[in-house]
């Protein structure tokens, strides 16, 4: 067994003295594992995944990512961010740059890649998310689903070891959700380590190796999809699943 690629050990985070947003989080993620994190709004899901590349800081415990301890060491933070691709609810694309220019920005500026190589890598990732024909368009000329696929391609351009998705389909119209989920299913099939916060339970059931259910800042249960969907172990899990599936 290799060491986990992500390891939370008794991680705690407070937003203020009164709001304890993460409570004693213990979670190990193996390389190539696909974890779906679900739970009611305000349960700490987004905060948890944002800690993985230090977009959120924690106050207690230990968090190691790709063998590096995340804490006060800015070099470690920088090294981790190069290995974690992040896809958000909002696409965060630069509207004044073309799709291709959005994709080559980080590889040329952050990773120091020559432009020619960055363009080749960007086009390869646009092919991967099935949107290469839109390379010279501007983000606002694309649908929401297309923009989110561009955002995924942009994250892949830094060749991350881990992809983190924070509710990537929640800002999309229903007919656009499938095209984004199809891309994510493709990545999962290629062995990418994935942490995904989502309410798309069909996706969770078909792609996840483990479902992590959170409530009130705690991991209430973590189990294989069949176990979770057939018979959640806790009353809170049962109530959440009933509300989602009957929605």
Every domain of the chain and the residues it spans: 6-41+53-245
- The pLDDT value given to residue 247: 57
H or E stretch covering 242: helix 235-245
Q: Who's near 196: CB < 8 A, 6+ residues apart?
A: 34, 35, 36, 37, 164, 165, 168, 184, 203, 204, 208
- The pLDDT value given to residue 110: 81
Helices 99-109 and 144-156: angle between axes, nearest 10 degrees: 20
Which residue has better confidence, 36 or 241? 36
d(C-alpha 189, C-alpha 32), whole Å? 10
3.40.50.300, 3.90.1170.50, 3.10.20.310, 3.40.50.970: which CATH number matches 6-41+53-245? 3.40.50.300
d(C-alpha 141, C-alpha 135), whole Å? 11
3 state DSSP class of 99: helix
d(C-alpha 46, C-alpha 37), whole Å? 9
Q: Who's near 193: CB < 8 A, 6+ residues apart?
A: 5, 6, 29, 30, 31, 32, 33, 34, 161, 162, 163
173-201 tens-digit pLDDT: 888 999 999 999 999 989 899 999 998 98
- The pLDDT value given to residue 114: 96
110-126 tens-digit pLDDT: 888 999 999 999 999 99
Average pLDDT over residues 46-70: 95
Checking if the pLDDT of 215 tops 80, the result is yes
Average pLDDT over residues 31-43: 94
- Arithmetic mean of pLDDT over the chain: 93
- The pLDDT value given to residue 119: 97
Q: What is the dihedral of CA 149, 162, 52, 80, to 10 degrees?
A: -110
d(C-alpha 113, C-alpha 239), whole Å? 49
- The pLDDT value given to residue 244: 81
């Amino acid at each position: 067994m290799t060491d986990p690629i992500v390891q939370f050990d008794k991680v705690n985070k407070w937003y203020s003295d009164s709001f304890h947003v993460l409570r004693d989080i213990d979670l190990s993620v193996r390389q190539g594992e696909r974890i779906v994190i679900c739970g009611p709004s305000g349960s700490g899901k987004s905060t948890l995944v944002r800690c993985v590349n230090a977009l959120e800081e924690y106050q207690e415990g230990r968090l190691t990512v790709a063998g590096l301890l995340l804490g006060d060491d800015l070099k470690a933070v920088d090294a981790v961010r190069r290995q974690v691709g992040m896809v958000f609810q909002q696409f965060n694309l630069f509207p004044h740059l073309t799709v291709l220019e959005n994709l080559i920005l980080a590889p040329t500026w952050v990773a120091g890649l020559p432009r020619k190589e960055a363009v080749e890598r960007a086009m390869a990732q646009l092919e991967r998310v099935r949107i290469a024909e839109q390379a010279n368009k501007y983000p606002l000329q694309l649908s929401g689903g297309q923009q989110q696929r561009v955002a995924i391609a942009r994250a892949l351009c830094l060749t991350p070891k881990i992809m983190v998705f924070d509710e990537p389909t929640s800002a999309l119209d229903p007919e656009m959700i499938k095209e984004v989920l199809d891309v994510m299913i493709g990545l999962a099939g290629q062995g990418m380590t994935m942490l995904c916060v989502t309410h798309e339970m069909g996706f969770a059931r078909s792609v996840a190796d483990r479902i992590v259910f959170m409530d009130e800042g705690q991991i209430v249960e973590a189990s294989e999809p069949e176990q979770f969907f057939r018979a959640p172990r806790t009353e809170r899990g049962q109530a959440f699943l009933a509300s989602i599936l009957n929605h």
